[in-house]
Amino acid sequence: MLRYCLALMVFIPPSTWGQDSMANHGMANITAGEYRPLYLSSDSPLVSMAPFKLDKQPVTNREFQQFVVKNPKWQRDAVPSLFAENAYLNHWEKSANQYQPSFTDLEKPVIYVSWYAAQAYCQAQQKRLPTVAEWEYVAQASFTQKDGSQEKDYNQKILDWYAKAAKQQPAEVGKDEANYWGVHNMHGLIWEWTEDFNSNLISGESRDDSSVNKDLYCASGSAGAVNPSDYAAFMRYGFRSSLNAKFTLSSLGFRCAADGND
């Protein structure tokens, strides 16, 4: 319907954008379980995962625009350089003295957004960014299993997308088949911010954990990891470790999480 409205030159005020979309966006209830981080050895104790909730889809341009309208300090031309690079919301267009996404991008994931902006958005929804462990716990699910990493072609499909992710504009959210948890787009659309992206090599609660293998991603340094052949997970961890909180990239967006109960 939006495309037909665009053809008729009908203007929809930003304050009304996404009312239906946000109502249907929803969160998936992720039950408690156990998870073994990639950087731990195969005989390391499993990490217990408390129940939590995770957005079923990445945050869209439509939803982030609503946030920006209510929080002008996160406008493209207002955000301090300390909190975002110059490319922040670089794909939005200026119209009526403010930046906003085009109609054709409304249901696509918001990109060119910094960690600070993503965190601010989630907090405004009474949510938070997911932790690395939470994201990976949900991301390891296939269409039918909590852990689909051993399924044939599971990792290869992810790697095929990683090989071209930065070369193409993301499509609309929610167009893929949902995984075991009912969550969409964990792979194949964008990279995503996590709450503790800059501590993803830490095996314990402390960032001073001396047991961390600092050479994990250097050639044979991955030999002691849980699954040295899981190149897709290594790429995610390597990518996160290269980020700075103010970075804004063409293939990097986010979704929100919240504490939950079984």
**The pLDDT of residue 153:** 75
Check if the beta carbon of residue 157 is closer than 8 Å to that of residue 149. Answer: no
pLDDT in tens, the chain (262 residues): 434 333 332 333 433 333 333 334 699 999 999 887 765 556 667 888 999 999 999 999 999 999 999 999 999 999 999 999 999 999 999 988 889 999 999 999 999 999 999 999 999 999 999 998 899 899 989 888 898 877 777 777 777 766 665 567 889 999 999 999 999 999 888 989 999 887 644 433 333 333 333 333 322 233 333 444 456 666 677 678 778 999 999 989 999 999 986 4
Beta strands (DSSP E) in 159-234 are 191-192
Burial tier of 81 (Cβ tally within 10 Å: 0-12, 13-18, 19+):
exposed
Rounded-to-integer distance, Cα 82 and Cα 80, Å: 5
Q: Given this model, what pLDDT does residue 125 score?
A: 96
Question: Nearest 10 degrees: CA dihedral of 12, 17, 19, 20?
Answer: 80
CB 184 within 8 A of CB 174: yes
Write down the pLDDT at residue 234: 61
- What amino acid is encoded at 173 in this protein? V
Is-contact 31 76, C-beta < 8 A?
Answer: no
Q: Report which residue type is found at 189.
A: L
Domains annotated for the chain, with CATH where assigned, are: 2-34+61-259 (3.90.1580)
The whole-angstrom separation of Cα 172 and Cα 179 is: 17
